[in-house]
A and B are shown apart, each in its own frame.
Chain A
Amino acid sequence: MGLGYLINIQPAIAIVAGVILGIMVGAMPGLSPSMGVALLVPFTYNLQPHVALILLISIYIASEYGGSITAVTINTPGTPSAVVTAFDGYPLTKQGKAGTGLGVSLVASTIGGIIGTIILIFFSVPLARLAVRMHPAEYFALAIFGLTTVASLGGKNWIKAFLAAMLGLLINTIGIDPISGVKRFTFGTYKLFDGFPLIPALIGLFALSEVFTRIEEYKLEKGKETKFDKKHWPSFMDYWKLKFAIIRSSILGTLIGIFPGAGATIASFLSYDLAKKVSKTPESFGTGNPEGVAAAEAANSSSVGGALVPLLALGIPGSASTAVLVGALMIHDLVPGPLLFVERPDIVYSLFAALMVANFVMLILGLFGARLWIKVTVIPKKVLLPAILAISIIGSFAVNYSFFDVAACLGFGIAGWVLKKYGFPVAPIVLGMVLGKLAEQNFRRAVIMGGYKIFFTRPASVILLLLALLSLGVPLYQTYKAGKKEKAGV
């Protein structure tokens, strides 16, 4: 069904353009997938909704692969998840086998992406059917659970991550309350009646704050250009040997991706670990074992499909990039969640089809363009940073043609930079902003339907709230234990 939508010229162009842009974004150190998608959301404003989504989703997938190119060739991971790819990818390059590293990472990414998409299709459709019947109390509990897991995965900064999520939720309450019509925190400014603009906030938090951080570090040397030959490009038999590693990591990566807060980076770390554990030659990991590259890349690419499961089926984004996709959906007046499957199945199925096709396009462009993609690393940061600033400014203007939005974008950029400096992650702010409406509306609906006790009388909501509490309790316990150990002088 979805494939039919792709046999038009616009979606086809969107996929190819998205994959090319995505690989470039991924390959440029300093441009993360979420930043790339955030910067490009405004460009999709006047496109048809499904073309816009296809473009953004292609960027998202391809950027996860793009990060591995520089990880393998110059040991500079373009994305956080490609750090793991570099463990074995760069040693391969040092042995003169960059071709092996690149080939394996490309094929593993493609297969990972496809397996992730298949699992996405099988999981999200029944999950959405189930979610349509969910009670508002359960929905609220689910949103809270999503947010707390994100915070608990903030590691030692979990308090800050949780605080960041709460700030996002609070920002979301600014504007006219849709239920009572009361103006909340608008401070007499009519520009705030509709609430804080989401897209400028996204661009500010993901793009501007990163630029300011880079300027502050001021490490702006040029990347080294590496030459490599295609001599060691793997043969079919080489790939065949990796089949179990790739399939295992893809399934693991997708499952981790589904879990809110655990994205591509955790997926690649865990599946690399697993590959090492089950390997007959664990000592060869880290010295240029293609299996390590395959495990990392299959996992991070397949996590994209996984991350889309809660986003599409429940309307709950679990990662920075999927939160940005919510923003993209919103500017087209589409609300992700189970109703999207009922009201706009065309969008959902064209997205599934686009994911499949984009993976193949990535394989083709990756095979023929490898030499070209390496060139993006020589773009000097001194040119790149001002350019990102200029794109951010015009991008935040383009959504509502408003200078208030531009100022908001700059404000979020400065706030994001300061907060990041002090260890506050910015992604939970965006998740809070995106999930706020869902949480609040369902909370109030539930209370109107059955009073405050309703959250504790419906089993599913009790379980979800307990899980949320648990996901906050675990890091608390770990901090306590670590503190005790420190005191004991261990």
Chain B
Amino acid sequence: MKLIEYFGTDSGLLIFIAVLVVVFAAITFLIIKSSKKAYAGRIIIPVLFIELALAFGIVTLNFPNKGDEVGPGVVPGLWLIAILIFSTLLLIKGTLGNEEKDPPWGHMKKVAAFIVMTILYIIIMQYIGYYISTVIYLILGMYYLSYRNWIVMISIAAGWVVFSYFAFYRLLYVPLPKGMLLERIFG
């Protein structure tokens, strides 16, 4: 009980999560090196869910209970137990090879590039504003998917920005980010 209480504190939880991360890394490493490599995803995902449930479980056990019959932790606890049971079932299926092999990887680099591009878009938008960043993002996105009809690319990007100005800014009063940099320069 003392240990659970300790893991409930800020520093204790950090240590607990650190342990989970190390365990996860170790399991991943072992699987990739083992004969189960073709099932890596089928094993790693349930492990991730189990660890997630454990971390949430520690937090749940430390919820303050003011003597209610059903405290704030009861229902999350129910869901967590179900997650643990079903993840364990999946893990067993995956380890025994009762699952299909991992699906082949497609154009992962392209997806990764798009994710990075989207993150950059979200960050840059706050500096140079919605309109300019969106035009750049759309044109780059289409270019990266090897579309080369510049007239279509520019008109779609510009058209979307004009549409979002009227639809969001004018009609729905959404304060589209104007961009900190531009605001500072132009007031």
Contacts and interface: CB of A to CB of B under 8 A. Distances in A.
Contact of B145 (A215, A394, A403): A215
A212 interface: yes
* Chief secondary structure at chain B's binding surface: helix
Contact of A215 (B56, B74, B114): B114
Contacts of B90: 159-160, 163
Given A163-B49, A382-B147, A387-B156, A403 B173 contact: no
A166 interface: yes
Contact of B69 (A185, A386, A448): A448
B107 A215 contact: yes
B74 A212 contact: no
Contacts of B74: 443-444, 447
Contacts of B79: 166, 169-170, 173
B141 A389 contact: yes
B84 to A, nearest CB: 10
Nearest to A447: B70
Interface stretch (B1-9, B21-29, B160-168): B160-168
Interface in A282-304: none
B70 A383 contact: no
B45 A422 contact: yes
Interface stretch (A57-65, A69-77, A174-182, A354-362): A174-182
Contact of B82 (A166, A216, A218, A414): A166
Contact of B66 (A180, A215, A390, A423): A180
B24 to A, nearest CB: 15
Interface in B56-115: 56, 59-60, 63-64, 66, 68-76, 78-80, 82-83, 86-87, 89-90, 93, 98, 100, 102-103, 105-108, 110-111, 114-115
Contacts of B105: 216
Contacts of B102: 422
B115 A414 contact: yes
A401 B141 CA distance: 24
Interface in B19-65: 41-42, 45, 49, 56, 59-60, 63-64
A439 B83 CA distance: 16
Nearest to A176: B72
A163 B63 CA distance: 24
A244 interface: no
Contacts of A159: 86, 89-90, 93
Contacts of A180: 66, 68, 71-72
Interface in A410-458: 410, 414, 417-419, 421-424, 439-440, 443-444, 447-448, 451
Nearest to B171: A46
Interface residues of A, number: 59
Interface of A is mostly: helix
B153 to A, nearest CB: 8
A168 B86 CA distance: 14
A212 B156 CA distance: 21
A170 B80 contact: yes
A48 to B, nearest CB: 13
Contacts of B107: 215-218
B5 to A, nearest CB: 16
Nearest to A421: B103
B167 A43 contact: yes
Given A403-B126, A410-B122, A443 B87 contact: no
Interface of A: 43, 45-46, 159-160, 162-163, 166-167, 169-170, 173, 177, 179-180, 182, 184-185, 211-212, 215-218, 220, 380-383, 385-387, 389-390, 393-394, 397-398, 401, 403, 406-407, 410, 414, 417-419, 421-424, 439-440, 443-444, 447-448, 451, 483
Ranked nearest first, the 8 interchain pairs of A and B with the lowest CB-CB distance are A386-B141, A216-B106, A382-B147, A382-B145, A177-B72, A182-B72, A173-B76, A440-B75
